[in-house]
Amino acid sequence: MNESTSTGPSDHALDLDTLNTFVFERVLSENTSTGSMFLLGTLHGTPAILHVQRTLLPSDTMGETVKSGLESFNVFLDNRPYFSAHALIKRTKGSAPNLQLKVIWPAQEDHIRKYSAQARRMFHETPELYHSVVVPYMDSFPASRLEWVFNILDGKKEAERILYRRSDPEDGFIILPDLKWDETSLNALYLQAVVQKPGIRTLRDLTKNHVPMLKEIRRQAQRVAMEKYGLEKERLRMFIHYQPSYYHFHVHIVNIDHDAAAGMLVGQAHLLDDIISLLELSPDAPAQTILARMTFGYILGMEHKLFPLLKQAVDESA
Ligand code: M7G
C-alpha cells in the first residue's frame, strides 16, 4: 500500500462512493461466534481497516418478525422435536440496518497490529518492570494517538454524544457512548468515562486523592444509565484496563448482560469498585499505594509493541 500517492479522508467523505473504492487486501481476524471480522484494504488508495458485523437482532420485535416477517424459510434438519432452518428477513420500508461497520481510515501500522489475529502471552509486571520497561514505552507513545481523546474532551468531536460532563481541571470527566456500541441494543450498552486532566496514564498513577473522582464517575455513570437507558446500577459492570490501548485514564461502563468478550476478561479488566477499595486501603503517600507497589498479571498479543520489550526484560532477568 503506497501512502505517498494516496488521498485520504480529508479529501473524501466516508460514503458509498468511497466504499466502492475499497481494494481488499486480507482478513486481519475474525470471530466465528459473532461472524464479525476485521478486513484490511484501501479506500481511495489509503490503508483502511473495516470492522464488519451484523447488527444484533432487536428482541422487542423478534416475535413479530418470526411470525410474519420471514421469506425463503428452509428447514435443513428435521429430527423431531429438533429442527434447524435458515431464513431471510423480509426487507420492509423502515427495516433496521443489518450491518454495522466501523472504519479506521487512514489505518496506521499500530492499528493493523492491534486487530490482527495473534498469539497471546501472560506477563507479570512487577513495579521494577513497570519503571524500567513500561514507563519508557509510554513516554515514547506518539501524542497523535491520543488526538481522538482530546478532540472529544475539547468538544471538537462527538459533542452531541456526550451524556454527562463535569468541567473541572482537577477532577472533571465526561461520559459518552463507546465506539464499540452502536446504541441499538441495550444488552450491549457500552459507555466510557474519560477524565479531563492528562497525566493519569494508567491505574498505576491513581492515588488516594483520586478516590472522590472515581466515586463520582461511578455515581454519574449509574445515574446516566438509569435516567437515559432505564438500567439499574446493579446491571452495570465498570472496569479499567491494564494494559489499556490508550494512556489517558478512562473507565469502561458496560451492561452486565453483554457477553463478556476479550476486553472484559481477567488478565486485562479490573473492577472500578476493586480499584477504589485498593486505594482506600493504601497508605497516603502517592508512591506507596497498593496499585503502585503490586505486581500486575496481564495478557498481551505478540503484535503489541510492548511485547518484545517485556519479553526481553523477563528473559534477561531469568
Ligand atoms: P482501552 O482500554 O484503552 O483499550 O479503551 P481497548 O480499545 O483495547 O478497549 C479505549 C476505549 O476507547 C475502547 O473501549 C474503545 O472502543 C474506545 N474508543 C476508541 N476510539 C478511537 C474511540 C472514539 O473515537 N470514540 C469513542 N467514543 N470511543 C472510542
Band (pLDDT 50/70/90 cuts) for residue 4 is very low
Write the pLDDT tens digit of every residue in 180-207.
Answer: 998 888 989 999 999 999 999 999 999 9
Q: Which residues pair with 46 in a beta bridge?
A: 43
Q: What does the pLDDT read at residue 5?
A: 39
158 annotated to bind ligand: yes
On the question of pLDDT at 148 being above 50, the answer is yes
Torsion of CA 303, 305, 308, 310, to 10 degrees: -120
Which pLDDT belongs to residue 34? 83
Given a contact cutoff of 8 angstroms between Cβ atoms, the answer to whether 310 and 123 are in contact is yes
243 is in an annotated binding site: yes
Position 8 pLDDT exceeds 90: no
Q: Which range among 10-14, 165-169, 268-272 shows the weakest confidence by mean pLDDT? A: 10-14
Is 250 catalytic? The answer is yes
At 101 the pLDDT is: 95
Range in 124-133, 209-218, 248-257, 260-269 with the lowest mean pLDDT: 260-269
250 marked ligand binding residue: yes
| pLDDT higher than 80, residue 298 | yes
Atom 25, ligand 1: residue with shortest CA distance: 179
The reported pTM is 0.91
Quick check: CB of 267 below 6 Å from ligand 1?
A: no
Q: Which of 113, 111, 115, 96 is nearest to 52 (CA)?
A: 115
Atom 22 (ligand 1): residue with closest C-alpha? Answer: 179
Unique residue bearing C-alpha cell 481476524: 29
